[in-house]
Amino acid sequence: MSNAYDFDFKALDGSPLPLTTFKDKVVLVVNVASKCGLTPQYEGLEALYKDMKDKGLVVLGVPSNQFAGQEPGTSEEIQTFCSTTYGIDFPMTEKVDVKGENAHPFYKWAKDQLGEPAEPVWNFHKLLIGKDGQALQAFGPRTDPDDADMKKAIDSAL
């Protein structure tokens, strides 16, 4: 696999969500959870998406239940929570594993590209993918969506 566009997810509604959908855009891939102390980051992620989507940024939420069981819901429950609680409009995938031997192939690829920093250690870990589909940078769970360094990295990728 040479770049992020080689991978496919399924959207929360079960429809195919190939990453080629976002070709020529900058994608911030975030593993998310509804019952985490960091869940309020959804608000900042949605604001970042609204603010920068016209410039070519996509935020992609990837629900995962791997960290303290903080995403136990079904796709429908996750969708309802995200839309009613935070007004989430950015694309979301079905729930997947993001680390370990059963990790989604995208996450295995990202770790191959960026090393250990790319493997999520908790919910709301962020991976920045360039317009060419290359993995650019990883940001830890506590990196706020309005973090200056992350915004700088996004701006330079755009």
Give catalytic status of residue 82 as yes or no: no
The three-state secondary structure class of 70 is coil
Point out the catalytic residue in the list 17, 36, 129, 136: 36
CA diameter of the chain = 37
Rounded to 10 degrees, the C-alpha dihedral 94/99/129/20 comes to: -40
Are the beta carbons of 103 and 36 closer than 8 angstroms? no
CA atoms of 120 and 111, how far apart (whole Å) = 9
The three-state secondary structure class of 51 is helix
Q: Which amino acid is at 68?
A: A
Q: How many CB atoms lie within 10 A of CB 46?
A: 19
Burial of 23 (0-12, 13-18, 19+ CB in 10 A): middle
Q: Indicate which residues carry an active-site annotation.
A: 36
